[in-house]
Amino acid sequence: MTENKHKLLEVKGLTMDFGGLRAVDSVSLAVHEGEIAALIGPNGAGKTTFFNCVTGIYTPTSGDILLHPKGLETRRLNGLKPNKVTEMGLARTFQNIRLFSSMTVLENVMIGRHCRTRSGIFRSIIRNRGVREEEQEIVETSYRLLEKVGLEKFVNEFARNLPYGAQRRLEIARALATDPFLLLLDEPAAGMNPYETSELDQLICRISEEEQIAILLIEHDMKLVMKISNPIYVMEYGKKIAQGSPLDIRDNPKVIEAYLGEEVDA
Partner 1 sequence: MLQDFKQSLVVSLWFVFLTFPLLVVRVNTIENVVVWRWSNILWVAIGSFVLSYFWRFLLLRRNRRQKQAEEGIASYGPLQAALDNILLRNRAMAVLLVLALIFPLIFDTYQTNIMVTALIFVVLGLGLNIGVGLAGLLDLGYVAFFGVGAYSYAILNYYFDLGFWIVLPIGGILGCLFGIVLGFPILRLRGDYLAIVTLGFGMIFKVMMENWETLSLGPSGIANIDRPGFFGVQMSLAQSTTYIYYIMIALVVLTIIVTNRLKNSRVGRAWIALREDEIACVAMGIDMARTKLSAYALGAFWAGIVGVIFAAKTTFINPASFTFMESAIILSIVVLGGMGSILGVILGAFILVLLPEYLRAFSEYRMLVFGAAMVLMMIFRPQGLISNLRQIYQYKGTKDKTAHD
Partner 2 sequence: MEYFLELFFSGLTRGSIYALIALGYTMVYGIIQLINFAHGEIYMIGAFVALIVAGVCTIYGLSGFAILILAAAIAAVYAAAYGYTLEKIAYRPLRGSPRLSPLISAIGMSIFLQNYVLLAQTPDFLPFPRLIPDFAFMDDVAHIIGSPELVILVTTLITMVLLTLLIKKTRVGKAMRATQQDLNMARLVGINVDRVISLTFVIGSVLAAIGGVLVASYIGQVSFYIGFLAGIKAFTAAVLGGIGSIPGAVLGGLIIGWSESFAAGYISSDYEDVLTFVLLVVILIVRPAGILGKVRKQKV
259: left (phi over 0), alpha (psi -120 to 50) or beta: alpha
What does the per-residue mask of binding to partner 1 show for 136-175, with x meaning CB under 8 A?
x-xxx-xxx--x----x--xxx---x------------xx
Single residue of 111, 190, 205, 241 touching partner 1 by CB under 8 A: 111
101 binds partner 1 (CB under 8 A): yes
Cis peptide bond prior to 253, omega within 30° of 0: no
- Given a contact cutoff of 8 angstroms between Cβ atoms, the answer to whether 224 and 201 are in contact is yes
DSSP labels for 12-75?
EEEEEEETTEEEEEEEEEEEETT-EEEEE-STTSSHHHHHHHHTTSS--SEEEEEE--TTS--E
Nearer to partner 2, 30 or 39 (CB): 39
Binding site for partner 2 (CB under 8 A): 18, 48, 52, 57, 94, 96
Q: How far is the CB of 251 from partner 1 (least distance, A)?
A: 36
Q: What is d(CA 265, CA 22) in angstroms, rounded to the nearest whole number?
A: 28
What's the start-to-end Cα distance of the chain, in Å?
27
Q: What is d(CA 185, CA 194) in angstroms, rounded to the nearest whole number?
A: 18
**Binding partner of 48, given partner 2, partner 1, none, CB within 5-8 angstroms per partner class:** partner 2
Q: What's the CA angle centered on 66, arms 60 and 72, to 5 degrees?
A: 145
Q: How far is the CB of 3 from partner 1 (least distance, A)?
A: 32
Q: Which of residues 174-193 bind partner 1 (CB under 8 A)?
A: 174-175, 177-178
220 binds partner 1 (CB under 8 A): no
Nearer to partner 1, 108 or 197 (CB): 108
Summarize as ranges the residues that interact with partner 1 (CB under 8 A): 55-57, 81-83, 86-87, 91-92, 94, 98-104, 106-107, 110-117, 119-121, 124-125, 127, 131, 134-136, 138-140, 142-144, 147, 152, 155-157, 161, 174-175, 177-178
